[in-house]
Amino acid sequence: MSNDEPVVLVTGASGFVGRHMAPVLARNGWVVRRAVRKPKAAADEATIDSIGPVTDWRAALAGVDAVVHLAARVHHRHEEHAVELYRSVNLEGTLHLARCAADAGVRHFIFVSTVLVHGRTTDGRRPFNENDVLTPRGLYGMSKAAAEAGLRHLAQSSQMKITVVRPPLIYGSGAKGNLALLEKAIGAGIPLPFANVSNRRAFVSAENLTSFVLHRLSHPDGQFNIFLVADDEQVSTPEFIERLAAAAGKPARLFSMPRLVLRSLFSITGRNEANESLFGSLELDLSKVASTGWRPLIGLNEGLRRALHGVDR
């Protein structure tokens, strides 16, 4: 390693997105330092305690040029009882890390937020864009929106450049949640009742999100910038399922069921968020990210193929 190689600290490097991103950054000229809680004696590790308002970041930030902050509390089974947990990790933990990074002379801080700071659906309105007044729903979205506001304030009083990235649902090899459930259902040949769903939703592959972060690390213009980042194609739920099935080499087996019945079934099972993510639209205006010169590395079909077959190159 030469003294000319820039160093990037990646939090959440052992998570779904981090496992995609860290190797790509390392292959493209960055010395990656992974912030971990449970070290495995790897040379690129920096051991920290749980992320929060008093985490000691001094050793992890020594000599660091940029930070990519992926780590966050995303889901909690009893969300209504987890207010302090979301606040401690996603809000206070993020702002404490950013302040420590600024004090350590870090030049660029990239915060991976979420499109959910805008809300969960664009039904009845135009696509979300970066200048919208935020209307987050749920503790996760609200904690990310509050962290963004704190970072904007920090950018005004420090020399460190700050980039906020707002991705929609991220898919790729190792993804969990709704994508994993759909994959299992398609593999098992289970008929899915979404044939008559008419919506448009944005998605982003882990590869494309990584590609934009890499691009942004090389082009850190502006003191504080926000970007909505997604794949080029925004498709309906049944089309997404059909493309996922094609990538798996399986039939989609879609059939129609009245939307009111479907919504009632999801409500009864306590999956109200799935109602919006499966039936509602979530469209994004991607003109700002396109203006940077960045383009998605791969298309939806290739992204789904890689997601199912574990291809990451």
Q: Which residues contact 221 (CB under 8 A, 6 or more apart)?
A: none
Residues 56 and 21: their CA atoms lie apart, in Å, by 24
Query: Going by DSSP bridges, is the β-strand pair 234-235/201-205 parallel, antiparallel, or unpaired?
Result: antiparallel
Residues 88 and 78: their CA atoms lie apart, in Å, by 16
Q: Is 140 a known active-site residue?
A: yes
For the chain, where are the E strands, in sequence order?
7-11, 31-36, 45-47, 66-69, 108-112, 161-166, 169-171, 201-205, 224-228, 234-235
What does the buried/exposed string (b/e) look like for 42-68 if buried means 16 or more CB atoms within 10 Å of the residue's CB?
Answer: eeebbebeebbeebebeebbeebbbbb
Q: Which residue has the tokens 């790729």?
A: 172
* Burial label, 215 (beta-carbon count in 10 A; 0-12, 13-18, 19+): middle
For residue 79, give the DSSP letter.
G
> What are the φ/ψ torsions at residue 40 (nearest 5 degrees)?
-120, 25
Residues 166 and 62: their CA atoms lie apart, in Å, by 28
- Residues 237, 199: contact at Cβ < 8 Å? yes
Q: Which of these is catalytic: 111, 140, 212, 294? A: 140
| Helix (H) and strand (E) counts in the chain | 12, 10
Return the closest-CA partner of residue 167 out of 216, 124, 125, 126: 216
Catalytic residues: 140
